Amino acid sequence: MSFDWSRERVVVTGGAGFLGSFVLEELQRRGAREVFVPRSREYDLVDMAAVKRLYSDARPSMVLHLAAQVGGICANRANPGRFFYENLMMGVQLIEVGRQVGLRKLVALGTICAYPKFAPVPFREEDIWEGYPEETNAPYGLAKKMLLVQSESYRQQYGFNSVVLFPVNLYGPKDNFELETSHVIPALIRKCVEARVRGDEKIVAWGDGSASREFLHARDAAEGIVTAAERYDRSDPVNLGAGFEVKIRELVPMVARLCRFEGAIAWDASKPNGQPRRMLDTSRALREFGWKARIPFEEGLRETVEWFERQR
């Protein structure tokens, strides 16, 4: 049977953010009519009273929890305590109050940072507890990992229906391009475009380029989240990814080419690489709710570069 979004009252935490904007578009495309996006200045999700007020005001039948305090390696190293506490409390309280008020379903986003530093590649959901996360983002990763513990235990004790999805690194138009807090792709795009405009002879990239990453377009991720909300009703974790990996030493020249930057690339090996490798096994998402990524990587990169240049 087809899912009727027009009958749902949906709260999307983080709906005003990067990924949230794509999720709102996808919900609208599928017929959702009553979608409430709480803003942090009105509903501080770290505060239990504000979470209770959100449920009272919005009266949702479904919550999509995308909100997070997040950033790249630099931001994680500067804010380990804040990232742990705020991400933990947002998730814990949204699920607990949802249980109390009889919420029909909650879909929460975990993070690829929850996986062990040396998890076998590709990362399978069964391996998520087989070691400690990479140190530079472990507090954030562990806080998000607790969503999985809470989801499983609340389903067992209370019959509460919640789902936790683990997306790989996201990218796309409307991303955060602030160098101090952004992830690798928007940071590289900004560096390359601005270096080209200034006529710089080189850009500096962090690490030695040996680490690998997998990247998922935010539009693909949004489709995965909304499809899981429709079709998946278990607490077993599910990866959302594109099913490939690219080494950073290959990514940087690709971004430079798309940004039309023709200068040199200097590697600063004194800066951390982060987790050595990242690539997900995405077979569970395909098997359980029929989702897989569709947007080719270079096509998505080109779209992102063009969006950034228009915004400048």
Distance CA 224, CA 221 (A): 5
Domain ranges of the chain: 5-171+216-243+278-295
Q: Distances in Å between the alpha carbon of 114 and those of 160, 228, 282?
A: 23, 20, 16
β-strand pairing of 34-36 with 62-65: unpaired
Instruction: Average pLDDT across each block of 10 residues of the chain; the chain has 312 residues. List them in order.
Output: 91 97 98 97 98 98 95 82 97 98 98 93 96 93 97 98 96 92 91 97 93 96 98 97 95 98 95 85 98 98 98 90
Cα gap 113→136, rounded to integer Å:
10
Topology (CATH level 3) of domain 5-171+216-243+278-295 = Rossmann fold (3.40.50)
Given this model, what pLDDT does residue 209 score? 93
Cα–Cα distance measured from residue 290 to residue 224, given in angstroms and rounded to the nearest whole number = 9
Catalytic residue ranges: 140
Q: Which residues contact 277 (CB under 8 A, 6 or more apart)?
A: 121, 211, 212, 245
Looking at residue 1, its pLDDT comes to 54
Closest of 48, 237, 47 to residue 149, by C-alpha: 237
Residue pair 224/240 in contact by the 8 Å Cβ criterion? yes
Q: Which helix (H) or strand (E) is 306 found in, with range? A: helix 297-311
User: Any bridge partners for residue 76, and if so which?
Assistant: none
Phi-psi sector, 188: left (phi>0), alpha (psi -120 to 50), beta = alpha
Please give the Cα distance from 117 to 115 (Å, whole number). 6
pLDDT given at position 279: 93
Using alpha carbons, select from 224, 190, 225 the residue that is nearest to residue 204.
190
- Amino acid identity, residue 19? L
What is the number of other CB atoms lying within 10 angstroms of the CB of residue 311? 9
